[in-house]
Amino acid sequence: MKFNTKTIHGGQQHEEATGSVMTPIFQTSTYAQSSPGVNKGYVYSRSANPTRTALENAFASLENGTHGYAFASGLAAIDCVLRLLKPGDEVIAGDDLYGGTYRMFTRLFEKYGLKFQYVNMNDSSNVVNAITEFTKLIWIETPTNPLMKIADIEEISNSVKQTNKDILIAVDNTFATPYLQQPLDLGADIVMHSATKYLGGHSDLVMGALIVKDAELGKELNFIQFAAGAIAGPMDSFLALRGIKTLHVRMQRHCENGRKVAEFLRDHEKVGAIYYPGFKSHENYEIAKKQMKDFGGMVSFRLKDESKSATFKFLEHVKVFTLAESLGGVESLVNHPVSMTHGSIPEAERLKMGITDSLIRLSIGIEDIDDLLLDLDQALRK
């Protein structure tokens, strides 16, 4: 199947008992057995639930994987990956990460003996040069949150595997979605999504996803998911399945509106720096063009007046955009990373990354573009 067909039919079957076209919500915790150990493939919903199974099959199909797993949140999915490691193991991650990921790395898993290095992944040689005998995992975000840096997944994967084929490559594909890039096809071992965002697409669920091609790696992740219990429930699984069916058409509009918003901001007299991988001036434009189908619906920028008061005035005067956490829904959102998504990162580290008080992140929705541009313009001129 082509991708646009996969979003609707990939990994799916009509429900056997009634022929229901849509996967039912199996709102049950347990399943009848005809004899001890004799069942229809389901025993207890922490291990498996038919609604979640359908969603996990859809995840695998979209990323060209063989096994998908749905978690209670994106951070629960990341937690599962890190539980593959043991004290003393080392993770190399990008130097621009979602704040919740950074918080998990530094405030949870460092206490349990894992070590973390942070490098600029714009240049793949930085990753290879950081590898030590203790390195077990490379954690890639691309595009990054919130500075929209781009890492060359294929080049990093090939270079790392040539150095040590046992090092795992994991990619947070939340910003791009499988519509724009498919990391498993570029050499990654694990793809992670905050399915809360574009996969769900309607700001009505919290969920994480992992997808792999290797069956043995899948078994390890599945065991951790079962043993730790951070699973997605049947209602959220149903909502995510519903959202995925329109992923392709939503992403087309997100990308279309994203480009127009980025161009508008680039030319606006009140705007200073802008972060959008679809501009030729972006330092990794060629990589983005090579590995992404389009450039997505996320745009970050700074005002020329970089004072906190000017930034807050803009944030307080948007009307169509909503000032809120998260991203990837049909509605346009505006975010202040310092006080919202990246507030858990110490100030010195934030500044080192380039996340200052004046940085603003936009998640461009699928509204009429004229309304979005008018809203931005009136807020910028306050």
Residues 191 and 47 in one domain: yes
17: pLDDT confidence band, cut at 50, 70 and 90? confident
> Which residues are marked as active site?
46, 98, 172, 197
Q: What is the pTM of this model?
A: 0.96
Q: How many domains does the chain have?
A: 2
pLDDT tens, 256-281? 999 999 999 999 999 999 999 999 99
pLDDT tens, 46-101? 999 999 999 999 999 999 999 999 999 999 999 999 999 999 999 999 999 999 99
pLDDT tens, 200-253? 999 999 999 999 999 999 999 999 999 999 999 999 999 999 999 999 999 999
Last residue of a domain, one of 242, 268, 286: 242
Residues 290 and 208 in one domain: no
Looking at residue 12, which CATH number applies to its domain? 3.40.640.10
Q: What is the pLDDT of residue 343?
A: 83
Contacts of 8 (CB under 8 A, 6+ apart): 245
Last residue of a domain, one of 216, 242, 268: 242
**289: burial class by Cβ within 10 Å (0-12, 13-18, 19+)?**
middle
Residues 299 and 227 in one domain: no
Looking at residue 256, which CATH number applies to its domain? 3.90.1150.10
Residues 44 and 182 in one domain: yes
Neighbours of 349 (CB within 10 A): 14
| Ramachandran region, residue 242 (left: φ > 0; alpha: ψ -120 to 50; beta: rest) | alpha
Residues 119-138: what's their mean pLDDT? 96
Residues 339 and 232 in one domain: no
Last residue of a domain, one of 242, 258, 289: 242
Strand ranges across the sheet with 333-335? 271-275, 298-303, 359-363, 333-335, 322-323
Residues 303 and 324 in one domain: yes
Q: Which domain holds residue 261?
A: 247-381
Mean confidence (pLDDT) of the chain:
96
Residues 121 and 259 in one domain: no
325: pLDDT confidence band, cut at 50, 70 and 90? very high
Q: Which residues face 322 on adjacent strands?
A: 333
Question: Quick one: which H or E segment has residue 254?
Answer: helix 247-266
